[in-house]
Structure 1
Amino acid sequence: MLAIFLLSLNLRPVVAAIGSLAAPILGTTPIGSLGLGLLTTIPVFLIGLGAIYVRQIRAVLGERRDVAVGGLIIAASCLLRYWFDGAAGLILTASGAGIGIAIIRALTPSFAKRNYRAGIGRVIGVYSTGIVVGGAVAAGVAAHLASRLGWQGTLAAWSLPALSATVVWLLASRDARSEGGIDMVASVSASHSPHLWSNLRCWSLMIFFGVGTGAFMLAMAWIPPFYLGLQQPAERAGLLLSILTVVEAATALGVAAFVHHLPDRRGPLTFSLITVATGFAVLTMSPIALAIPAMVMLGVGIGILFPLSIIVAIDHIDDPTIAGNFTAIVQGGGYILASFVPLIAGGFRDVFSDLTHVWTLMAIGSIVMIAVAARFSPDSYVRFRNALHLRPAPRAARRELERMRA
C-alpha cells in the first residue's frame, strides 16, 4: 500500500507544476501560451489512450513490470527537463511523462483489485489521495523551489520521488498476484466490445466526463498564470491551486461516503455543475477579492462531478467485466476530449492576452451539461441495457459491481 501511495504521488506533478512556473517558462523559452497549454494537453491525452487500451498495455509485460516501467519513464522524463529546457524538449518530455503516467493509471486499480479484493476501497482511497496530494504539493511549492533551483531544476527534482517510488514498488510487489504478459495477447482482441462505441449514450457520457475533467485540467493549467497576470505573487497563485485540489479531494471522499443514499444521481450532478459554473463566473467578475471562495466552489463542484461521472457510467451496466470495459471507454474518450481544453485556453490567451473569455465559456458549458445530466435517470439505464441486449447479471456479479461503485 505504501508503494501504491508513493507511485500515485507522481501522477500529477508533471502537469500541476507547469501552471505555477508559467512566468519563468514563458520568459525564457519561445514556447508561448499555446505551447504551455500543450504541456498539459499531451499527458492528459495519453492518459485517455491508456484507459482505452488498458488490456493491450497489460499484455506487454504484465501489470507489475509495466507499472515499474511507467515509474522509470516518469523519472527519466522529469530528469531530462533539466537539460532539455527548450520548447521542443519540454514537449518531448511531457510526452514521455504522459506515457509513464498513462501506464500506471491504467494498471494500478486492477492490480490493487487483484491483490486486495475486499480491501480494494481502502487501497483506491489511498491511491486517489496520493494523486491529489502530489498535485497539491507540486502546485504549492513549485514557485518557492524555482527561486532556489530554477524552473528547470524544479521540474527535474520530481525524478527523485518517481525513482524512489519505483524501487519501493519492485520490492513490495515481488510476491504479488499480477496478470498479463505475452500469453494475454490473444485474449485482448477477444475481450473488445466495439458495439459500445456505436451507442449514443456512450458518447453523451464521454462528453459529460470530458467537460468535468476539462474543468479541472483548465484550472490546474491556467489558474496560476491567470493570477500571475493579475500581479499576484507566484506563491499565492500556487497556493490557490492547492486549495482547489485539497477541497476537491475532501469533497470526493464525502461523495464516496454518501453516494449510496442517492441512487438517482441527477440531483448532485446538477448541483455540481451549477457550483462549477458559479466558480468560473466568480473568476470572471471578482477574481482577486473572491479568489478563495472561487477555489472552494470549483473544488466542491469538481470533487462531486468527477467521481459521479464514473459512477453513472458504471450504473448503466450490471455485468462487472462489461461495466469495466464501458467505463474505460467513457474515461478514455473523456480524458482525450478534456486534454484539448488547456490547449484551447492557451490559444485564447495568445489572442486576447487574457483568460476571462475561457472562464466564461467553461461556465456556459457547465450549464449546458445540466441538460445532459437530466437524461441520466435510473430508467434510462434499463433502456440502455435493453438496447445492448444485455441480460441481468447473476447475484454474485451484482455484488462485485457494488464494490466497483464503492
Structure 2
Amino acid sequence: MNQKNIRSILLILIAIFLVSINLRPSVTSVGPILSTISEALNVSSTQISLLTSIPVFCMGLFAPLAVPFQKKFGYKWSITLLLALIGVATSARIFFSSYSALVITSFLAGFAIAIISPMINAFIKEKFPTKIAPVIGLYSFAIGFGATLSSGFTGIFYESFEGNWALALGVWGVLAVVAMISWLLTVDSGQAKLAQEASTEPARNPWKNGLAWTILIYFGFQTSLFFSLTTWLVSIAEEQGMSLLTAGSVLTLMTIVQLVGNIVIPSMINKFPNRIAWLFGLVFMGLIGSVFFFIDVNWAIWVGTVIYGAVLSGLFPIGLMLPLDEAKNNQEANEWSSMVLSGGFMMSAVIPLVIGYVFDITGNHFITKLIFVTLFILMSISIFVMQKMKKSL
C-alpha cells in the first residue's frame, strides 16, 4: 500500500470519527441537567424524558430512509445535509428554549441521526470489508466520545454559563460544522454509485428473515439499556444523595469506561470472533453489575457504573457487526443495518419514557433498577435464540 492510499484511508477514518461524534450529543446532553430543565420549564419527569425518547424513536422510524437517501444523493451529500440538520437543530436550542422547541429540535436531530447511522455502517462495510471489527470499533468509540463529551461537559457548561441551560445544550452544534467540513473534503461523491454498479448479487429482504428480526430484538434491548442509563443515571445518583455535578460525574465515568472499551473490545473480537460467546459473557457481567445498584451506599453505584460501562462498550459494537456479518453485498449491508437500527431504536425509545412515568408515580428508582435487570434477561433470551438460528442455517 503506497503512501497516498494510506493518507486517503486515514482521512476517511478521521471523517467517519468526526461524523460519528455527532450521533449522540443532542440526546445525551439532556441527561446531566434533566432535573434543572424540568424545574425551569415546570414539566413532569414523563414529559422531560420525551426529549430522549423522541429522538431515539426517530432514529428507528426514519432509519429505513437510509437506503433511498444513499441511492439518490450518495454518501457524500446525504451525510453532509444531515449533519447540517443536526447542527441547526442543536444550535437552535440556544435561541428557542421552550419545551415545545426542545421537542421539535429533538425530533429533527433524531431524524438526521436515524439516516446517518445505518449509512455509516454500510459505508464501513463497503470501504473496509476485511477490517469491519476494528473500524466499527472506531465508529463506536466516536459515538461514545461524543456521548462522553456531552454528558461530561454539559453540566460544566451549565455552571460556566451562569445557569444558562439552553446555551449548555446548544453549544454542541459546533461539532456538526467540523464534521461537515471533514466529510466534504474527504469523501468522493462517486464512490457509492461505483459500489452499486459492482454489486450484482440480489439482496435478501431482512423484513422477511427470522435471523434479522432476532438481531433487531437484541439490538433494541441493548439500546434501551443505554438510553435509559444516559437519561436516568444522574437522577438515580442524585437519589443516593449526590450533588448534580457529582451525579453527572457518575454518568461521565460510565461513558469514559465505555469509550475505552469501544476500542479494546472490538480489537479483541477481531482476534476472538465468536460474537455469541462475547454477548453471553457481557450480559452475565451486566447482571453482576446490576446487583451493585441495589446497595444503598455511594461506592456501590460507582462500581456498578464501571461494570455497566464495560458491558455497553461491547454490546453496542457487536450489535452493529451482526447485520454486517450476515450481509452478502453492500446493498444488503445497508438494508439489514437500516432494518436492525430502525426496529431497535424504536424499541429503545419506549423504556426511558416508561421509567419517567413510573418515577412520577413512585417517586423513587427501585423499579428503574428492576427494569435494567429485566433488559439483561431479555437480551440473554434473544442471544440464545440467535445462536439456535445461526446453527440451523
Whether TM-score is above 0.5 comes out as yes
Deviation at 1:370, TM superposition (A): 2.2
1:213 and 2:223 are equivalent in the alignment: yes
CA distance in 1, matches of 2:277, 2:137: 24
1:167 and 2:181 are equivalent in the alignment: yes
CA distance in 2, matches of 1:266, 1:112: 22
Picking from 380, 384, 396, the partner of 2:389 is 380
Aligned length: 377
Residue 134 of structure 1 is matched in structure 2 by 146
Residue 192 of structure 2 is matched in structure 1 by 179
Cα 1:143–1:94 change in 2 (3 A) is same
Mapped contact 1:140–1:235 kept (Cα < 8 A) = no
Deviation track 1:349-404 (CA, whole Å, cap 9, x = no partner) reads 11112222011122033124323322333x632524xxxxxxxxxxxxxxxxxxxx
Counterparts of residues 92-103 of structure 1 (less than 5 Å): 92-103=104-115
Counterparts of residues 215-254 of structure 1 (less than 5 Å): 215-254=225-264
Residue 300 of structure 1 is matched in structure 2 by 310
1:9 and 2:21 are equivalent in the alignment: yes
* Percentage identity across paired residues of the two chains: 24
Deviation at 1:16, TM superposition (A): 1.2
Deviation track 1:130-187 (CA, whole Å, cap 9, x = no partner) reads 21111101111111110122110111111222223223332333x4544269xx9xxx
Farther-moved stretch of structure 1 (143-152 vs 101-110): 101-110
Deviation at 1:9, TM superposition (A): 2.0
Deviation track 1:200-252 (CA, whole Å, cap 9, x = no partner) reads 44333222211111111111111012223333122222221122122223223
Residue 350 of structure 2 is matched in structure 1 by 340
Deviation track 1:24-56 (CA, whole Å, cap 9, x = no partner) reads 101111332112211111222222234333211
Cα 1:325–1:108 change in 2 (3 A) is closer
Cα 1:135–1:32 change in 2 (3 A) is same
Mapped contact 1:23–1:228 kept (Cα < 8 A) = no
Deviation at 1:121, TM superposition (A): 5.9
CA distance in 2, matches of 1:268, 1:113: 21
Cα 1:347–1:103 change in 2 (3 A) is same
Mapped contact 1:228–1:234 kept (Cα < 8 A) = yes
CA distance in 1, matches of 2:78, 2:172: 20
Structure 1 gap segments, 5+ residues each: 185-189, 385-406
Higher relative contact order (CA 8 A, sep 6+): 2
Deviation track 1:83-132 (CA, whole Å, cap 9, x = no partner) reads 22111111001011112222332323434555566676665444332211
Picking from 35, 41, 44, the partner of 2:56 is 44
1:158 and 2:172 are equivalent in the alignment: yes
Cα 1:303–1:168 change in 2 (3 A) is closer
1:57 and 2:69 are equivalent in the alignment: yes
Deviation at 1:192, TM superposition (A): 6.9
1:291 and 2:301 are equivalent in the alignment: yes
Deviation at 1:307, TM superposition (A): 2.5
Farther-moved stretch of structure 1 (63-72 vs 48-57): 48-57
Which TM-score applies when normalising by structure 1? Answer: 0.83
Farther-moved stretch of structure 1 (62-71 vs 304-313): 304-313
CA distance in 2, matches of 1:203, 1:258: 27
Cα 1:70–1:318 change in 2 (3 A) is closer
Deviation track 1:254-276 (CA, whole Å, cap 9, x = no partner) reads 33223255555443322211222
Which TM-score applies when normalising by structure 2? Answer: 0.85
Residue 394 of structure 1 is matched in structure 2 by none
CA distance in 1, matches of 2:90, 2:329: 40
Structure 2 gap segments, 5+ residues each: 1-10
Picking from 83, 95, 99, the partner of 1:83 is 95
Farther-moved stretch of structure 1 (325-334 vs 297-306): 325-334
Residue 389 of structure 2 aligns with an amino acid whose one-letter code is S
Farther-moved stretch of structure 1 (368-377 vs 147-156): 368-377
